Amino acid sequence: MTTLPKVLAFDVFGTVVDWHGSIAREVDALQLGVSGDEFALAWRAGYQPAMQRVRSGELGWTLIDDLHRLILDELLERFGIRHLDEATKRHLNRAWHRLDPWPDAEPGLSRLKAQFMICTLSNGNLGLLAEMAKRGGLPWDCILSAEVFRAYKPDPATYLGVARVFGVRPQDVMLVAAHHDDLAAARSCGLRTAYVERPLEFGARQPKDVSARSGNELHAKDLLALAELLEC
């Protein structure tokens, strides 16, 4: 790599933390009569359509915590789960604050942090990301979120917002993500991109195709491998 980026911005859900395994475990523990695997996938499947309702203007600006709750209420209805009290529903909804990092995340980020400014760039809200980081020991230099830019990825305001916050050019920022659409949107704003393989993002029953695609400057098995590629 001829010149190194200055800032590494990380997608979080799926890239840094294992949402599927974490949500499935919490749902299984509640013994709701539905498989945690199925419930986790259904909850996450509601995520893009919910954000689309905000992007389209049908909903005003709404935090992910509140979108997660809208989806949860629909799912509980769909699965015929009607016995949960409000405190339990609130606790379950905040399972998204308690997602476990992938095993390489904390050591990988710690190595990368020694050489780069590392921040989140997630559609998750600030409180969610801060609680997740505190619980999981994720050593962010700064937590950036759609909440700061009042726009959800892939809105250019989010990618360009990272460069603006740090007073650098878009090409000084590298987005690290396990999702090609996120990376492509970042590239179209002039950011550099690194793909991270997360074959089990959707659980062991739905392994994801993580083969390399053109366009990404880096392709890494995990965040420790990314640190190697960036010579940390």
Helix (H, G, I), strand (E, B) or coil at 75: helix
d(CA 130, CA 218): 27
What are the structure tokens assigned to 120, written together? 């989140």
Which stretch, 42-50, 120-128, 170-178, 204-212, contacts a second copy (CB under 8 A)? 120-128
Among 55, 78, 134, 213, binds a second copy (CB under 8 A): 134
Rank residues 65 and 222 by Cβ distance to a second copy and give the closer one: 65
C-alpha distance across the termini of the chain, in Å: 13
The binder of a second copy chosen from 8, 51, 143, 226 (CB under 8 A): 143
Tell whether residue 67 is a contact of a second copy (CB under 8 A).
Answer: no
CA distance 142 to 129: 10
Token pair in block for residue 116: 């780069």
Of residues 151 through 210, those in contact with a second copy by CB under 8 A are: 165-167
> Residue 16 interacts with a second copy (CB under 8 A)?
no
DSSP-derived letter for residue 79 is T
Nearest distance from C-beta of residue 105 to a second copy, angstroms: 17
Q: 3-class SS at 220?
A: strand
Residues that bind a second copy (CB under 8 A): 65, 117, 119, 125-127, 129-131, 133-134, 141-144, 147-148, 165-167
